[in-house]
Chain A
């Protein structure tokens, strides 16, 4: 088999975390790819924080409606059973613990499992949008990101970028590894096909807790 595109591999692995019948919010970019790999019969509802529960795929050409959009402003459809809500309800769901899972991109995750994903001082100040609410409020937070950026590990001992939340995220999925932050540190729980645990340790600036046997992702 030819090597899978790293982003597709991450999205496919994250999709395995999505529970049947759950309410899930996917961030913009790589996280949004996860929806592609969720079977329609799982009964999963995707939330877009601008006001839809039951986000569907892109509409057919010429059928786009300006009042049915996702949080990135892109045109979407709605699935049967969908609901439209205002921002107070939308963030009430997120902050009140009613959202089962969020999948977000990351700039850094540190040894405490804390995420930084909203600004690079001096370079990128887009605003946090809903990211801080999602990380602080969702029942489960999964970070979907590439392991490194410009050759530098994005998994670091301490975040040097401003944090998104103090909350420890639940899982980090990269094209090399699945990592589960726990109170005692970052546990390496799976490795990507063809990647050795020692390769992952070498590519990671933060310390990893590595068991004797690290199973391969079932992709």
Chain B
């Protein structure tokens, strides 16, 4: 049995300078109420690990606009001109990672693997500074695992023990990130008694969830 906490209380637990994985793909499946609370508490110096930085005024884009972010590890920032401008001005450091490599690096961090070997990125700027390993005559880049202090994820539905169910394209990075951080905060749209989510529909078991955020009223 978990206790639901308020978004402001959750945001207060995240210190300035923390590394945070944030679920979502162009804002779809991001923990929007928690992001609003982080902006409201004027958090600073975050390292954000996410697929993208959405767009100004939406999802992670709000953290970018509000000056909360020092560093971004993402696969795409093309639809957020503010992220690009702050990268060029030097306000935000950006590491661009191929999307499939990003999800596998996070997965590696979450499941105790020492790294990922992949052909993606060979012969491109992604290769710079990385070890190339040959296995059975094929060349691979060694990509290192990623973990974070916090994973901030969104779900369609939680139950009282924190089991999570997702919907359609709002899955994206959320289930993977739930394994790869020291503290996992989940923002569900609905919180239901145990039994409403059938065991087969649980994509993130409640044992991974440290904080369940109060649902929107």
Contacts and interface: CB of A to CB of B under 8 A. Distances in A.
Binding between chains A and B: yes
B187 interface: no
A81 interface: no
Interface stretch (B5-13, B40-48, B172-180, B206-214): B172-180
B172 A87 contact: yes
A131, A133, A166 pick with most chain B CB within 10 angstroms: A133
B163 to A, nearest CB: 16
Interface string A196-207: 000000000000
Nearest to A49: B99
A88 B107 contact: yes
B150 interface: no
Tell me which of A50, A87, A125, A132 has the highest count of chain B C-beta atoms within 10 A of its own C-beta: A87
B107 A66 contact: no
Contacts of A130: 75, 98-100
B169 A69 contact: yes
Contact of B173 (A87, A94, A127): A87
B89 interface: no
A163 B124 contact: yes
A69 B58 CA distance: 15
A91 B170 CA distance: 16
B172 A51 contact: yes
Contact of A87 (B77, B103, B120): B103
A73 B75 contact: no
Which residue, B75, B98, B103, B170, has most C-beta atoms of chain A within 10 A? B98
A108 interface: no
A40 interface: no
Contact of A128 (B75, B84, B170, B203): B75
Interface string A133-177: 100110000000000000000000000001111100000000000
A128 B98 contact: yes
A160 to B, nearest CB: 14
Interface stretch (B24-32, B62-70, B190-198): B24-32
Given A86-B166, A91-B104, A73 B79 contact: yes
Contact of A133 (B52, B100, B166, B168): B100
Contact of A50 (B101, B122, B125, B169): B169
Contacts of B172: 50-51, 86-87
Interface residues of B, number: 46
Interface string B80-110: 0000100100000000101111011001000
A52 B51 CA distance: 16
Contacts of A91: 99-100, 103-104
Contacts of A51: 25, 168-169, 171-172
A35 interface: no
A126 B203 contact: no
Contact of A129 (B28, B76, B87): B76
A7 interface: no
B123 A165 contact: yes
A87 B168 contact: no
Given A69-B26, A95-B118, A133-B101, A52 B124 contact: no
Nearest to A162: B125
Contacts of B96: 125, 127-128
A27 to B, nearest CB: 13
B95 to A, nearest CB: 10
Given A126-B77, A127-B52, A165-B123, 9 more contacts: A51-B172, A69-B25, A73-B26, A87-B99, A125-B84, A128-B98, A130-B99, A132-B124, A136-B121
Interface of A: 48-52, 65-69, 71-73, 78, 84-88, 91, 94-95, 124-133, 136-137, 162-166
